[in-house]
Chains A and B, each alone.
Chain A
Amino acid sequence: MNMEDGLSLTLGLPGRAESDKEPNMSCFKNSNNNKRSQPETNDARSESNGSSAAKEAGMDSAPAAKSQVVGWPPVRNYRKNNVQAKKTESESGMYVKVSMDGAPYLRKIDLKVYKGYSELLKALENMFKLTIGVYSERDGYKGSEYAPTYEDKDGDWMLVGDVPWEMFMVSCKRMRIMKGSEAKGLGCNV
């Protein structure tokens, strides 16, 4: 388990007197290399009852010194998303250009409007009238005609879906929908 990034993730709750079950380790599988098995943010399947700091805290935000618990405090996602979106947003929105191989002109989309990868991909499919298919950590968008990629802050071209959504939103400079065959190389582990 990778703890070197300085996040002090605790599994127990503060002041918890009774000690019951072993903490579920599956949530930390995901936090290891900043990757997740599915691009969707709200997947609770692999989470334990206890803390899931990897999910609750933004991956690259301030250290989660307080342990964060799934679903606590009990505030609906809708409300959390709205309040937090305001904090990170600028007045003008998070617009990025999207190009598609073979299309004569580019489009622009506001990343803030989408709550996660599946919404973004659905929107791209709708906008460009194509199918993108299902993302898998191992094979990328293998089998799809098209694969969405993006240029990150370092100038590298990455496959959409590899990093947590919040991290993607802040690091994506622009997007390019590549033909599936060309995107093969990007599907591998970086």
Chain B
Amino acid sequence: FSAHCVFRKTKALLDHTNTLSLNLTELTDQQKEFQEVARKFAREEIVPAAPSYDKSGEYPFPLIKRAWELGLMNGHIPEDCGGMGLGIFDACLITEELAFGCTGVQTAIEANSLGQMPVIIAGNDAQKKKYLGRMTEEPLMCAYCVTEPGAGSDVAGIKTRAVKKGDEYVVNGQKMWITNGGKANWYFLLARTDPDPKCSASKAFTGFIVEADTPGVQPGRKELNMGQRCSDTRGITFEDVRIPKENVLIGEGAGFKIAMGAFDKTRPPVAAGATGLAQRALEEATKYALERKTFGKFIAEHQAVSFLLAEMAMKVELARMAYQRAAWEVDQGRRNTYYASIAKAYAGDIANQCATDAVQIFGGNGFNSEYPVEKLMRDAKIYQIYEGTAQIQRLIISREHLGKFKQ
């Protein structure tokens, strides 16, 4: 009896797995050309400039402006707003290449995509034309303003309040760890509109577009972080900020779903960024291992080192396939939450492992700031934290997995 039960449950799981054949084909000519431009820009312009931006923490605006001029930014913006309407897969290809150069620069650029995504998926025509259109006319930044000092993973626990007063909403609250917080031209803001604590998360929050120069919006100081140091991260205080009702996305109470829905499209590029960092770690470590000699041989010829490189290579290849699957799924029009979380969780973890292993391969030199790999270790950590912590990803994956199993 029990054996029969086990068989039935296993079959139910198998019904939902491995039902797709991924026709692995070469990238299209256009994708290859896009990747080539991003790769050239990253290796020739970002890589040499990254160390000094990391030391000074200065916002890499010249590099961001260049990326904007080359069309490497704002790829998701629809064509009728002046953008290229790229799918998530194409955006991921570009993101991985830029991240190879420097994830600090790449995060500053990626924060635009995150801030824009709620408007792309939920904005009405007027909102899209106004706020996405201006991003393609000049190199402007925007930001995704959800996290608070007291609520990160627990988005439903945010306390920033938006109260309707006539044709406006008045917002009060405190946001934290906002990427591009001090550089944004506008923010996507999530605030609580229903004060009733019993109101469910799916109805209590509203998404707004807030112009950064609205009176009462006060960005705090630039935070000094472990890594991705040139990226601008700040706390932002909202004091009696008035937002016109035209800037509400969809309607009151729709905010939570919009904020979460954006992640399905932005997690694959974040995974791609982590993969780019891991690829950089692998390449730097490999180059070094073929130059440095010890005990009469290149260290790459010692199995301990070559096995480290092999495991780094395994992780990079798998992370790449994971984000490509997640991106492909959402581009096909399917719900990709499961794959997006797997990609982000895995890529974040392996980026940290590969960066650490790269420092190990460099030995004493790896610990030193004259060599490029210690920066990779410092930059990698945030990939296990932002856009959904490693733990939250596991919550999502287990929920999706068990949900399929129970069907």
To the question of whether A and B form a pair in one complex, the answer is no
Residues of chain B touching chain A, judged by Cβ–Cβ distance below 8 Å, are: none
Residues of chain A touching chain B, judged by Cβ–Cβ distance below 8 Å, are: none
